[in-house]
């Protein structure tokens, strides 16, 4: 998989792309990350990437010509290398909420591009040059870099062989069954009056699986009943 990230601050990703399983995926050949700054395509001696908004208003708006030049340069590099064009994703609080289904879909893509904004936002015309718009949630940050890191991590961990334990992906929260994950315990067996449930130390794998399923369903009903409703609708389609 190839991930292209358009950002004014590529240095923010230096440690991220070299650390933990994202770094291992890179060294193992499962992941290629390309960082590109719109500043490389900025205008004038100051390499300007933004300008004041038409109609007035506060803040600065990122220019459509600069951003499109950056995106098209990445496309041209991919074409020259005989690689597929990356699917373009615009990071914006107005986009579709990101979730596990989108991460799973992106994990099947050969390449995708994350376009991170700064300042007051993008020139509206940028939207005509992207494939979809993605939001991390109903809140606003100064830029899209943290959202991009979250999307990369959620997606890369789904690539075959990256985590090493495929079963953990199926059983965790928002996995294939749509439930929240069951409670997990480790040593000590008792801590300040709170003991590990006896069934988990019983060695009876059938009973353990039954307990975990019941706990996952109970926790999901209590904390995220919307997930139960969504799973029910999916079953009846």
pLDDT one-digit tens code per residue, 24-83:
999 999 999 999 999 999 999 999 999 999 999 999 999 999 999 999 999 999 999 999
**Best CA proximity match to 95, nearest among 44, 54, 147, 57:** 147
Strand bridging mode 111-115 / 2-6: parallel
Q: What's residue 119's pLDDT?
A: 83
Residues 179-199 have a mean pLDDT of 96
Q: d(Cα 94, Cα 113) in Å, to the nearest integer? A: 18
pLDDT one-digit tens code per residue, 199-230:
999 999 999 999 999 999 999 999 999 998 87
Mapping DSSP to helix (H, G, I), strand (E, B) and coil, where does residue 133 land?
strand
Question: E-assigned strands of 50-131?
Answer: 50-51, 61-62, 87-97, 111-115, 121-122
Strand bridging mode 190-191 / 194-195: antiparallel
User: Tokens 């994950």 belong to which residue?
Assistant: 181
Mapping DSSP to helix (H, G, I), strand (E, B) and coil, where does residue 81 land?
coil
Domain boundaries, the chain: 2-156, 166-235
Q: What's residue 228's pLDDT?
A: 87
Q: Is the pLDDT of residue 235 over 90?
A: no
Q: What are the residues facing 114 on neighbouring strands?
A: 5, 89
Strand bridging mode 87-97 / 50-51: unpaired
Q: d(Cα 71, Cα 136) in Å, to the nearest integer? A: 21
| CATH code of the domain occupying 2-156 | 3.40.1280.10
Q: What's residue 39's pLDDT?
A: 98
Angstrom CA distances, 220 to 125, 154, 188, 224, 236, stand at 41, 21, 26, 5, 19
Q: CB of 1 within 8 A of CB of 151?
A: no
Fold of 166-235: 1.10.1270
């Amino acid at each position: 998989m190839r991930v292209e990230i358009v950002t004014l601050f590529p240095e923010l990703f230096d440690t991220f792309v070299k650390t933990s399983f994202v770094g291992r995926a890179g060294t193992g050949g499962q992941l290629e990350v390309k960082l590109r700054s719109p500043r490389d395509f900025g205008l004038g001696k100051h390499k300007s990437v933004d300008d004041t908004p038409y109609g007035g208003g506060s803040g600065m708006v990122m220019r459509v010509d600069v951003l499109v030049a950056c995106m098209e340069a990445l496309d041209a590099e991919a074409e020259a290398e005989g690689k597929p064009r990356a699917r373009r994703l615009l990071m914006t609080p107005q986009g579709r909420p990101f979730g596990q289904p989108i991460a799973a879909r992106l994990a099947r893509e050969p390449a995708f591009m994350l376009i991170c904004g700064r300042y007051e936002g993008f020139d509206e015309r940028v939207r005509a040059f992207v494939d979809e718009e993605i939001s991390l949630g109903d809140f606003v940050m100064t830029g899209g870099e943290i959202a991009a890191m979250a999307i990369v991590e959620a997606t890369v961990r789904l690539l075959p062989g990256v985590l090493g334990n495929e079963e953990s992906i199926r059983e965790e929260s928002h996995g294939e069954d749509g439930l929240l994950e069951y409670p997990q315990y480790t040593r000590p067996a008792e801590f300040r009056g709170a003991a590990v449930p006896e069934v988990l130390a019983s060695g009876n794998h059938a009973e353990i699986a039954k307990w975990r399923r019941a706990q996952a369903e109970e926790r999901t009903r209590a904390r995220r009943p919307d997930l139960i409703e969504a799973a029910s609708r999916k079953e009846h389609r």
